[in-house]
Structures are given as C-alpha cells and as structure tokens.
Amino acid sequence: MLPSDLTHLTPSQVDDLRRKLAAAGCDPPPGARTVAELQDAFAQLRKRHGLAPSDKIDGDLLRCLDAAAGHLFGEVLRDELDMLRPEAGDMREEALDAALPPDRERLLRRAHGGMLTGLALSGGGVRSATFSLGALQALARCGLLRHIDYLSTVSGGGFVGGWLSRCLHANGGDIGKVEAMLAPQAGSVEAPELRFLRQYSNYLSPQGGMFSADTWTLVGTYVRNTGLNLAMLVAWMCALLLLPRFTVWAVHRVVAPGGAWTHLADIAWILGVLLFLFAVFCIALSISSKPESSRGMRRFPLSQGAVLWCINLPLLLAGFLGSLGLWRHGGAAPSTFLPAQLEGRWHWLLAPGLVYFIVWACGWYLAHDRSSPYRRTGYTVCAAGAAAVLLVLLEAGRAFAPGILALLRADAARLSLLLCWTVGLLLALAGWLAIYTRLHADPPLRDLTRAELGEGLSHFLCAMGALTLGTLLLLGGMAVLPDPAGQRVLNDAIALATFGMPLMMALFAATMTLMIGLVGRLYSDASREWWSRQGAWTAIFALLWLTVYATCFYIPPLLHWTWLTYEPWSNLGTLLGWLAMTAFGLKAGSSMSTGARGAPDPKLELVARLAPYVFTVGIFALLSSLVQVTVALPHIACPGARLTCVLRAHADATLATDGTTLLLAFGAFLGAALLLGWRVDINKFSLYMLYRNRVVRAWFGAGNRARQPHPFTGFDPNDDMLLAELRYGRPYPIVNTALNLVSGAELAWQTRRTASFAFTPRWCGYE
C-alpha cells in the first residue's frame, strides 16, 4: 500500500504522473504540482476501471494507470539500468517507490555514473552490414566487444546486429565465445557462422543466373503477390467507378422526357433550396461565432470537420439537386434572360437576396451571446423571419412548381394565409416584448448597437444586389443551354450529372465574391479568410466531382475513338509511352538530380512531379473503359467513327443500362474486393515477406547451430527467434524503425512523414 499523500515525490515525478493520467484520458490539471491536485484524476481512473473508491494510491491503481497509459522513458531506462548496472542492496529503491515514475535527476546521475557504452550500426543495406561485420571483428580482436552495453541498429546494420544477438543466444550469452568466433587465431578454421555468411553473401538469390531456380522464384513470387494486390485494388476501384453510373441512372429517370421519376424534378428543386438555406444559416453561425464565448460555450462547432459536414456537404447537395430542378427550364429564347414561367414576374428576382439575408441574419444573431433583456425579442423576430422564409418558398412553389402542392395535397391559399398570420403575430409579440423590456429595464440596455444595425443594413443591400445579379447569371446560363432534341450529346443526364453541380458551385462562388466585394470594409480580415478557406474546400470537391465523372463518362469514348481512328501500332506506342513515362518518373524521383539531395535538374524535377498524375490518369482511364465494357457495351453504327458519333453511342449505352445490371456489377466487384481483402494479407503477400525470409535465412540462419532447412526450399522456420528471448543479454539490442505517417495534425512532420519507434527485448514504443 502506498501512502495517500506521497509528499516525498519530486516535481518531476508528479509531472510524470500527470502526463500518464492525461494519456489515460483522466483530465488532470495542466499545472498540477502535488499529488493532491491529481486526486480527481485518480478518482476518474478508479471509476473507469471499476476499482473501489478510495483516497489511497495503491499498487492496483498504478497498475491500471500503466495498462491505460503505458510507461514513460524514465521507467524504461530505470528497468534497463536495473539489468545492466544493478544497484547495491542499500541503494535500491523501496518497493513503494519502484512502482512510481523515477526522479529524473536521480535517474540521470545513476545513468552517467554507470559509464554505459553503446555501439551504433548504421543503415545502408548489405554493404553496411558487411562493413559493420568488419567493425565487430576489430572490436573482438581488441577485446572491447564485452564492454558494450547497448547495440543500436537500423536497416542494414540490423542484419549483422541480429546475427550477433543470434550468436550470443546460441552461446548462452557468453560474450567471450562470440569474441573468439569473430577473431579466430591465425591458421585456425573459419567459424561456421562466418562461413555461412560468406556462402549467402548474395542473400536474395544465392544461385544467380537466367535459369536459376532462385532467380525465377523471386520473379514468380513478385508476380504472384503483385497480381493479387492489384486484383484487390482494381476490384475496389471498379466498384467505386460504378457509383457515378448509379447517379446518372437516377438522373436520367428524372430529366428524360417521359421518365419514370419526372415528377421528382420539382421536389429536387425545393430540397436544393432548403439545403442551400441550411448551409447559409450554418455559414452565418460559423463565421460569426467566436472560438470561446462569454458563457464558455459555442453556438456552432468551429472545427474543419463541422464546416465540411454542415456547410460544404449541404452546398454540394443543393447544387446537385438544384441543377436537376432547373434543367427542365433550359433552352429559352436567347432574346430574354427569363424562362417562360418567369415572364412578367420580375419581382421574383429579388426573392433570393431577401431570403438569403433573413436566414443569414437569424444565424448571425444566434451566434452572439446576448445578455440583454432584448434577446427574447430577437429570438421572436428570428422565428418571424423563418416563417416569412417559408411563406416566400410556398409562394415560389405555387408559382413555379404547382405539382409539388398537388403531390402534397396542400391548399396553397390556406397555407399562405396561415403563415401571414404567424408572421404578424410573432412580430406583434416581438414589439410588445421590446416595449415591456424597455419600460422595466434599469438601466435600459440595447441589444444591437448602431454599428451592428448599420452593418446589417449594408449587408442587406449587398445581399440583394449580389443575389439578384447571381440569379440573372443563372437564368442567362439556362437560356443559352442547347435544346435537348438537337444537342443530345451535350444536353443529357450524363452532362447534367457531370457539369451541373460544379457549375452551380461556380455560380455560388461568383455571387459570394461579388457580395464580399460590395460589403467591403465592413467585413473583417477573419471573415474574408473564412470565406477563402471555405471556397478552397468547395473548389476541391467540385473539381474532384468533375474529374471523377469526366473520367467515367468521357474518357472511355475518347479512348474508343482513338482506337478506331488510329492504327493499332500507334495505339500500342501510346500505351508504351505511358508506361515509359511512369517508369522514367519513378527513376527520376529516386535520382540524385531531384529533390534536395543534390544539384536539381529542372527537367527531371518536372518529370518526377508529373509522372504520378500521368500514371493515375492512365489507370483510371483504363479502369473506366473496363467498367464501360462490363455494364454498357456501346454499338458504333455510324461510318467514319466520328467523335460525336462515338460519344453518342457510349451515352446511349450508358443511359440504356438498367439498375439490375449496375447492382450485379457493383456486387461482383465489391464482393471480389472484400473476398481478396479478407483472404490476402498485404503484409504476407508483398515484397516485405520475400525480403524478410531471405534476410532471416542468410543472417539468422548463420547462428542456428541446429539448422534443418527444407530440402526443396532451403528455409528453416527455426532460423528466426523472438526478440523477447534476448531480454537478459548484453549488448542489449535496440532496433530502430520509423512509423509511416499517412496524415496528422503535426505540421512539422508534413515533409518527413515518419515518427521514430524503437524495439527492444523488454520494451517497444516511443516518446
């Protein structure tokens, strides 16, 4: 049992306990200096692990802390010192203190007093291993190897380091025998361990040559493993490339004349408007919220994920659904900006700006902490604004989408009257609350300052102007759309699914840019930066959408037209050129003339940067063609193989594809990907295992005195051993590795993309 106060602990020990509690998720005070300040965090730990409540910090509690948070470097070093330099009985820590993190200063004094010696063997493949072997032999001849406490290795140095540890283990940890083996007397027979290394100096393919079984084993293993991994990857990518075809299949049934789902076009338009208004409301909340409010809370989560999910995603869906609803209004006469349904209704051009400002104002008001007695009035006005927006949307639906009301079986006149009464009552209630609060407030407080009112009025005028111009741009674009009957290639469900949403996002970006410019100085730098970052994410998603859909529906017919137009040898040359560009880019990327390792060559730098994109475009083009042939094989019936004819043939085949075919193909590709992902372990079916097995045979097999290799393959599973079996030996091995970081929030690591990670017989990890 440990004392509950632990007043004898040093500040470094308390800090280590705090760090471990934080790693265990117990929220200790950041500036805790005594154990008493950590009692609440320890109570959380007890509750989490089902321990009985107590004020005492006992061994069970510390073991739970170790299990939840791991160990610190000081604890690891203390354990290693206890093994390498054990202290005298009167100097050892008491059992009570041994369960706690050690004092850093005392630990460092002990480490320096132990006069520890380490040997580091650097990386560099088999050449480094060969050089390091010579260094070990020189140390053995001088009798210095027995004085080494630590053996730190990485990459090629780990080959010979592992071999040395294997030999030590085979000799029962007797370093003297290993030194004698490494430094034999003149005229004596070379040790079997050294002779084995010499025999397997070419460890990947001991017997070279064109017709050597070792050479062809390497080739066969590479082809097998690469083929299985590529099959899994191709199946996943084909399944993903089928998803846009489901979208086109659904869009075709909405926009095609006589389509099964044409009645959903107006619903899509209304849903798009609602999603857009929701995004505007969240934009106002996000851009107006402060990181920390006066009440210690936020009205809107300000993280990047919240913006992407609550703003960008609704905007993208609104653009897609809005394009479906507006598509059928295209093709108006170029002499007017207005479609037929808008003739004589110019006042509706002001509706988008009005609705936008009302929703924005509600979000802006709710984003601020209001301690004024007027806040209830403001909330009531916001409710009135929401009712007014619904009234405008209802009137718009009655004017431009009467089918919606028929579908919902709603009486537009009664709904409009009800909403008008609702708006009037809410505004009357707001006025009464304002007057009552004004009369009874002591002293009277104002909820909105003159500056805020002026900013709101300016924002209203700018929103009206920008949204009106944006609406005119939208209507102008709809007016110049080609007639579906005359331009089927450019005006069908494929073109709508591919270009509709990106064009709507471009229109939104242009409108917001105009509005930000009109608002001018009233917008803060922080607000403009917010819009810039939000616009960047919108552009990323729109370009990604455009790239994926264009690859799915326009690259396959282009490749087909190229195949029909040019000679086979020319097409084969293009394919070989693509492969050569990829291979040359890989070679250039590892060259000393690229990157920061040597004198850069601008041409090679350009090739190295372009090669991945060229390879990616080529792969997706080939896979898109494979998917096209699988689910929608085109029939070219026109002479001359004109590009427009090939495009039309592919579009007809795509639009004629039924949902059952798409589902079967998607299920087949997805099933194959899941099956291969389940059965094919990428760590087993990769070059890593091929490389590892041969390194173990060459370097660890040399230290296996009881080696019994398979007569056919030459491998012995007993060549390898567990690292934990070396936990009491000297020199104590440290195997250095690097963890690949795919992504992370640490900006300082964005170039290196790795983190240090160490393996030892007793511990593994990093700090």
What pLDDT digit, counting tens, does each position of 250-269 carry? 999 988 877 788 888 878 88
DSSP label at residue 636: -
Work out the average pLDDT over 554-581.
Answer: 85
CB 62 within 8 A of CB 20: no
Max Cα–Cα distance, the chain, nearest Å: 113
Q: What is the pLDDT of residue 329?
A: 65
163 closest CA partner among 752, 754, 733: 733
Residues 6 or more apart in contact with residue 493 via CB below 8 angstroms: 248, 251, 252, 254, 255, 256, 655
Q: In sequence order, which ranges of 566-658 are alpha helices (DSSP H)?
A: 568-589, 602-631, 643-655
How far is the C-alpha of 145 from the C-alpha of 167, rounded, in Å? Answer: 13
Amino acid present at 388 = A
Of 49-58, 83-92, 299-308, 616-625, which gets the smallest average pLDDT? 83-92
Q: What is the pLDDT of residue 335?
A: 46
Work out the average pLDDT over 550-573.
Answer: 88
pLDDT range class, residue 424, cuts 50, 70, 90: low
Q: What is the pLDDT of residue 34?
A: 86
User: How many residues does this entry show for the chain?
Assistant: 767
Residue 619 pLDDT more than 60? yes
Q: What is the pLDDT of residue 666?
A: 97
Of 318-322, 383-387, 455-459, 515-519, which gets the smallest average pLDDT? 383-387
Encoded tokens for 431:
């006025």
Q: What is the pLDDT of residue 453?
A: 66
What are 523's strand-pairing partners? none
Identify the residue with better confidence: 430 or 390. 390
**Enclosing H/E stretch for 231:** helix 213-255
Q: What is the pLDDT of residue 157?
A: 94
Mean pLDDT of the chain: 82
How far is the C-alpha of 237 from the C-alpha of 230, rounded, in Å? Answer: 10
| CA 207, chain centre distance (Å) | 45
Work out the average pLDDT over 617-629.
Answer: 93
Amino acid present at 464 = M
Residues 6 or more apart in contact with residue 245 via CB below 8 angstroms: 552, 627, 631, 632, 654, 657, 662
Residue 218 pLDDT more than 70? yes
Q: What is the pLDDT of residue 483?
A: 61
Q: What is the pLDDT of residue 357?
A: 86
Encoded tokens for 117:
């010696």
pLDDT range class, residue 751, cuts 50, 70, 90: low
Whether the ω angle into residue 443 lies within 30 degrees of 0, i.e. cis, is yes
How far is the C-alpha of 45 from the C-alpha of 625, rounded, in Å? Answer: 57
Cα(first)–Cα(last) distance of the chain, in Å? 29
Work out the average pLDDT over 144-148.
Answer: 93
How far is the C-alpha of 650 from the C-alpha of 633, rounded, in Å? Answer: 8
How far is the C-alpha of 480 from the C-alpha of 329, rounded, in Å? Answer: 11
Q: In sequence order, which ranges of 411-524 are alpha helices (DSSP H)?
A: 412-440, 450-479, 493-519
How far is the C-alpha of 39 from the C-alpha of 45, rounded, in Å? Answer: 10
456-459: long-range contacts at Cβ-Cβ below 8 A with a sequence spacing of 24 or more? 456/361, 456/364, 458/519, 458/522, 459/357, 459/360, 459/361, 459/519, 459/522
Residue 298 pLDDT more than 60? no
Q: What is the pLDDT of residue 142?
A: 92
359 closest CA partner among 307, 410, 417, 311: 311
Q: What is the pLDDT of residue 392?
A: 72
Residue 31 pLDDT more than 50? yes
How far is the C-alpha of 610 from the C-alpha of 589, rounded, in Å? Answer: 10
Amino acid present at 705 = R
Residue 135 pLDDT more than 90? yes
Work out the average pLDDT over 213-230.
Answer: 93
Residue 575 pLDDT more than 70? yes
Encoded tokens for 395:
């009137």
Residue 430 pLDDT more than 60? no
| CA 56, chain centre distance (Å) | 44
Residue 677 pLDDT more than 60? yes
Amino acid present at 278 = F
Residue 5 pLDDT more than 60? no
Q: What is the pLDDT of residue 238?
A: 96
Q: Is 739 helix (H, G, I), strand (E, B) or coil?
A: strand
Q: What is the pLDDT of residue 76?
A: 93
Of 124-138, 238-252, 355-369, 716-730, which gets the smallest average pLDDT? 355-369
Residues 6 or more apart in contact with residue 84 via CB below 8 angstroms: 114, 116, 149, 730, 732
